[in-house]
Amino acid sequence: MNIFSVLSLLGGLAIFLFGMNIMGEGLENRSGSRLKSILENLTSNPIKGVALGALVTAVIQSSSATTVMVVGFVNSGLMKLSQSIGIIMGANIGTTVTAWLLSLTGIQGDSFLMNMLKPANFSLVFAFIGIILSFSKREKSKYTGSILLGFAILMIGMNMMAGAVEPLKDVPEFQQMLLLFKNPLLGVLTGAVLTAIIQSSSASVGILQALSVTGAITYANAIPIIMGQNIGTCITAILSSIGANKNAKRAAIVHLCFNIIGTITFLLVFYTAHAIIHFSFINDTINEAGIATVHTTFNVFSTLIMLPFTKQLEKLAYFVISDKNNTGEIQLLDERLLETPAVAVSQARKVSVQMLLIARDTLDKAMQLISHYDEKTAESIMKTEKKVDSYEDKLGTYLVKLSRESLSYEDSHQISNLLHSIGDFERMSDHAVNLVDSAEEIHDKKIVFSESATKELSVMTAAINEILELTTTAFVNNDLEVAAKIEPLEQVIDKLKAKLKNRHIQRLQKNECTIETGFVFSDILTNYERIADHCSNIAVCLIEVANDSFDTHEYLHNFHHDVSFETQYQAYKQKYAV
């Protein structure tokens, strides 16, 4: 084996990892919406958790990515530690799919069917179809193309590695080195270190499968290495848990303990049985399919023996990471989730909904203060407004980072909508504070509105309550039909504000109220009208983003001349007449 073989091996490894990355991203983006719905139906049932973990990992082709997601979910409070255990177990089973795909390289036979089943041949067909689909205008077709291209590149890398190491079968030193790996401890350590370095058990199993073409690797060599590979893959989750809360760290510990205990148990059972039965295959040469079989057998075995002890695993994690000095802080937006953009977008949307609901609740309380002032409620509104400000800062930063990731068309639209909307949510909470100031002035100065002014204000308040209700429903449910009802009501509120100000001027001229009362009345109307403006902004953004258009002025101009707008406008005008 010369320097060019070494370069071919390194190049093959690079191409293999690159192909795996492209295929994984394509799979994730292609199934993004499904992935979100699967993860939204998280369950505390361990068996369903195992199935969920296996399915998600099989889809995104990376147990490391799944466990990092789990750490992020636990850290953000989206998932309990007890829920994460089954998913972590299932991730180990799901990752074996890659090994089985790679094992197809060992298919023997000269018939057309057997030749087409060999990845070296059908991956070329995949590459051709993939490059055609990548030029498609349809988003899903592009992602399908990425999956096929990624697989083809991955197999090219696999074949390069296999070709580079094949001469090693005639090298005596290589044969002697492999004898060392018959020592289980050394084999486990080697597999763990290799996997920890490249942070992918699928990739390290692929490397072992490539080495198996030399014909020099036996079951005795391979079994401990495969065990170690499962331990080494835990490094990704452990690194991801740095800086996370204690429950997230515990999720990483569960992953590590599960694989260490599984490895020890499997090796003890296997070598004890071998000492008694003397397995005839132990010194046989192992091929790609044999490696995939051992990999799957170990992970299924570990899951089956550990599944009844999920509560004990949880207790062990609590023992390793104690509750002492635990603040219990939850990070709603965890940057670990950025590794899986479809899930990160879903989480960002949930936090945005929380932000809107908090702002809405703040406005409800502030409007009630105008007629029934309460100091404690006023103080709580001030504190809540700062919380909404914090939401905007964190969400804005998170969404900007997320927008730099590889996103599906749907997720890109979702981020655009959220970025446009969170500013309006924050401004709505600012108007709640302004209303508190007005309520405080009414209370301190003992201001009393005239009977007509009180009635007018109640009509305006009812209109604002309805537009807030419509806005909340439209945003939370992404309901464009409800969103279309907001602009006609906003126009009625605009006209209502102008009419109420004119009527108040008339009352001033008749000395029915004071100038001081007029200022407060005018401030309340102005804040109400601006709240309605922000509701309109949110609704228009929902509609325009859905239509892949961002020309708000053109939309409003066209909509105001629409028959449906006029019908709804007249209905609201009659409903809120004074």
> How far, in Å, CA of 140 to CA of 154, rounded?
21
Mean predicted confidence (pLDDT) in 300-313: 91
Annotated domain spans of the chain: 3-320, 335-575
pLDDT tens-place string over residues 112-142: 555 555 666 677 888 888 889 888 878 778 8
**CA dist list (Å): 255 to 70, 95, 233, 238, 264:** 10, 14, 9, 9, 14
Type of residue at 577:
A
73 within 8 A of 82, measured Cβ to Cβ: no
CA distance 556 to 558: 5
Q: What is the pLDDT of residues 209-232, one digit of tens each?
A: 878 877 878 898 889 989 998 898
Architecture of domain 335-575: Up-down Bundle (1.20)
Is the pLDDT higher at 264 or at 3? Answer: 264
Confidence of residue 326 (pLDDT cuts 50, 70, 90): very low
pLDDT for res 462: 95
DSSP H helices, 278-408, are 288-306, 310-320, 341-369, 375-403
Q: pLDDT-derived band of residue 191, with 50, 70 and 90 as boundaries?
A: confident
Q: How many residues are present in the chain?
A: 578
d(CA 240, CA 234): 10
Q: Is the pLDDT reported for residue 58 higher than 50?
A: yes
Q: What is the pLDDT of residue 550?
A: 56
Tokens matching residue 1: 């084996």
Q: What is the pLDDT of residues 462-472, one digit of tens each?
A: 999 999 999 99
Which pLDDT score is estimated for 197?
80
Task: Evaluate if residue 331 carries a pLDDT over 50.
Answer: yes
pLDDT band at 490 (very low <50, low <70, confident <90, very high): very high
Residue 327 is predicted with a pLDDT of 43
Residue range 474-484: mean pLDDT, rounded: 92
- pLDDT value at 431 more than 90: yes
Give 566 or 429, the one with higher predicted confidence: 429
Question: What residues contact residue 570 under an 8 Å CB cut-off, 6+ apart?
Answer: none
Give the chain's mean pLDDT: 82
Q: Between helices 201-211 and 219-232, what is the axis angle to 10°?
A: 160
Please state the rounded mean pLDDT for residues 365-384: 92
**Residue 193, pLDDT score:** 86
Say how far apart CA 46 and CA 321 lie, in whole Å: 22
SS3 at position 49: helix
Q: Identify the residue with better confidence: 174 or 261.
A: 261
Round the CA-based radius of gyration of the chain to a whole number and report it.
32
